[in-house]
C-alpha cells in the first residue's frame, strides 16, 4: 500500500533581496525593505513529504533515517547562514521562500522519492513545491471579523431554523483566510508574484470591504446569497481571480476557516476561462 509520510524540521537563516546589476534605487523600488543591508532573517519551518510502499515493518521509511538525510543535506548547510552565499543556486536566483523550496527539493530528490516540499517563512506565509520545473505556489494567511445570518429570505424563521439551526440567528466569526497562488518562479528574482502587490489586492478587495460588517446587509452579493462559509469562500475566489492574474500568477485555492473546527476550500482551475461576474 502506497503511503505519504511527512518530516518537519527547522532552521534559522538570513537573506537579502539584492541584484548587483541594479543600482540602489532600483533595488529599493523592486524589493522594498528586503533590499536593506545586511539583510533580514527568519525562523524557517520545513516539511518534507515523501511517498512509498509500506514495508514488512509497517513503515515507508524509518523516520530516524529520513531525519538524518534532511539534516545532512539541508539543515546543517543552511542553519545560521547568509543564504545568498551558502548555495550557488541562490547566487543565480534570489533565495525567496518559493525558490528555497524548489532548490531544497532538488537537493533532496536524489535521496528521496519526494511528493512535496513545504517551507514556512512564518506562520502566515509559506511556499509549496512539487517538482514541476519553475512552478510553485505561495500562500498568504490573514483574517477578518464579520457577522452573518444563515437564512433564505423566502422562508420563515422557523423554516430557516430547521435548515440552519442556531446559525439562523445573527452571529459573528473571526474568519481566517488562506489565499494560495501559483505561477512560475522568476529565474533571477526568485519570485512568482510581487508579494506586496498580492497583499495589497487581498487587503483592498477582501479585508477592507468584509471586515467588521454584517454580511447579509452590508455586502450586496449576500442580499440574495446565503453567506455560508462555502459561499463566502467562493465569493472571495471570484473577487481575486482576475486581479491575481493581472499580477502574473493564478489563484490556486481559497481556504476559509469559520471556526477552528469548520473550514472549507475552493480550488480554482488555472487553465479555466475567466469566471462570469455573477453580480459581484
pLDDT digit string, tens, across residues 81-131: 999 999 999 999 999 999 999 999 999 999 999 999 999 999 999 999 999
Percent of the chain past pLDDT 70, that is, above it, reads: 95
Mean pLDDT of the chain: 94
pLDDT at 14 over 50: yes
Q: What is the pLDDT of residue 154?
A: 93
State mean pLDDT over 194-214. 97
Number of domains in the chain: 2
pLDDT at 276 over 70: no
Residue with cell 509549496: 128
**In a shared domain, residues 140 and 274:** yes
Print burial letters for 125-156: b (CB count within 10 Å at least 16), e (below 16): bbbbbbeeebbbbbbbbbebebbbbbbeeeee
**In a shared domain, residues 178 and 229:** yes
**In a shared domain, residues 44 and 153:** no
Write down the H helix ranges in the chain.
24-31, 63-70, 76-78, 83-86, 89-92, 97-108, 157-164, 195-202, 208-210, 215-218, 229-246
Percent of the chain past pLDDT 90, that is, above it, reads: 94
**In a shared domain, residues 148 and 278:** yes
In contact, 78 and 103? CB cutoff 8 Å: no
Q: Band of the pLDDT at 269, cuts 50, 70, 90?
A: low
**In a shared domain, residues 118 and 26:** yes
Q: What is the pLDDT of residue 2?
A: 86
**In a shared domain, residues 125 and 157:** no
pLDDT tens profile 149-191 = 999 999 999 999 999 999 999 999 999 999 999 999 999 999 9
**In a shared domain, residues 91 and 109:** yes
**In a shared domain, residues 152 and 268:** yes
Domain boundary among 115, 132, 149: 132
State mean pLDDT over 2-11. 96
**In a shared domain, residues 215 and 277:** yes
**In a shared domain, residues 168 and 111:** no
Domain boundary among 114, 132, 150: 132
pLDDT at 272 over 70: no
Which distant-in-sequence residues (6+ apart) come within 8 Å of 175 by Cβ? 143, 144, 145, 146, 232, 256, 257, 258
Residues annotated as part of the active site: 167, 212, 258
Q: What is the pLDDT of residue 274?
A: 39
pLDDT tens profile 38-95 = 999 999 999 999 999 999 999 999 999 999 999 999 999 999 999 999 999 999 999 9
Q: Residue 175: give its domain's CATH number.
A: 3.30.479.10
Q: Which domain holds residue 16?
A: 1-132
**In a shared domain, residues 147 and 162:** yes
Domain boundary among 104, 132, 160: 132
State mean pLDDT over 31-44. 96
**In a shared domain, residues 91 and 111:** yes
d(CA 84, CA 103): 13
d(CA 189, CA 94): 5
In contact, 234 and 221? CB cutoff 8 Å: no
Amino acid at each position: 500500500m502506497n503511503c505519504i509520510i511527512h518530516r518537519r524540521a527547522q532552521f534559522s537563516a538570513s537573506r537579502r533581496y539584492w541584484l548587483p546589476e541594479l543600482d540602489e534605487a532600483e533595488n529599493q523600488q523592486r524589493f522594498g525593505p528586503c533590499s536593506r543591508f545586511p539583510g533580514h532573517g527568519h525562523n524557517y519551518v520545513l516539511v518534507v513529504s515523501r511517498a512509498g510502499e509500506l514495508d514488512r515493518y509497517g513503515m515507508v521509511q524509518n523516520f530516524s533515517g529520513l531525519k538524518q538525510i534532511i539534516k545532512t543535506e539541508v539543515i546543517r548547510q543552511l542553519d545560521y547562514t547568509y543564504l545568498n552565499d551558502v548555495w550557488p543556486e541562490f547566487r543565480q536566483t534570489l533565495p525567496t521562500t518559493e525558490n528555497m523550496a524548489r532548490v531544497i527539493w532538488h537537493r533532496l530528490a536524489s535521496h528521496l522519492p519526494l511528493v512535496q516540499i513545504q517551507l514556512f517563512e512564518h506562520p502566515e506565509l509559506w511556499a509549496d513545491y512539487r517538482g514541476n520545473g519553475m512552478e510553485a505556489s505561495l500562500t498568504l494567511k490573514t483574517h477578518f471579523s464579520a457577522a452573518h445570518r444563515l437564512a433564505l429570505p423566502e422562508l420563515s424563521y422557523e423554516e430557516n431554523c430547521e435548515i440552519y439551526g442556531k446559525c439562523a440567528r445573527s452571529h459573528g466569526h473571526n474568519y481566517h483566510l488562506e489565499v494560495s497562488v501559483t505561477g512560475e518562479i522568476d529565474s533571477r528574482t526568485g519570485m512568482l508574484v510581487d508579494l506586496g502587490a498580492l497583499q495589497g489586492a487581498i487587503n483592498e478587495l477582501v479585508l477592507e470591504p468584509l471586515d467588521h460588517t454584517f454580511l447579509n446587509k452590508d455586502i450586496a452579493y449576500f442580499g440574495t446569497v446565503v453567506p455560508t462559509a462555502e459561499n463566502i469562500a467562493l465569493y472571495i475566489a471570484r473577487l481575486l481571480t482576475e486581479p491575481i492574474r493581472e499580477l502574473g500568477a493564478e489563484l490556486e485555492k481559497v481556504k476559509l476557516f469559520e471556526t477552528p473546527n469548520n473550514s472549507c476550500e475552493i480550488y480554482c482551475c488555472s487553465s479555466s476561462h475567466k469566471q462570469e461576474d455573477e453580480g459581484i
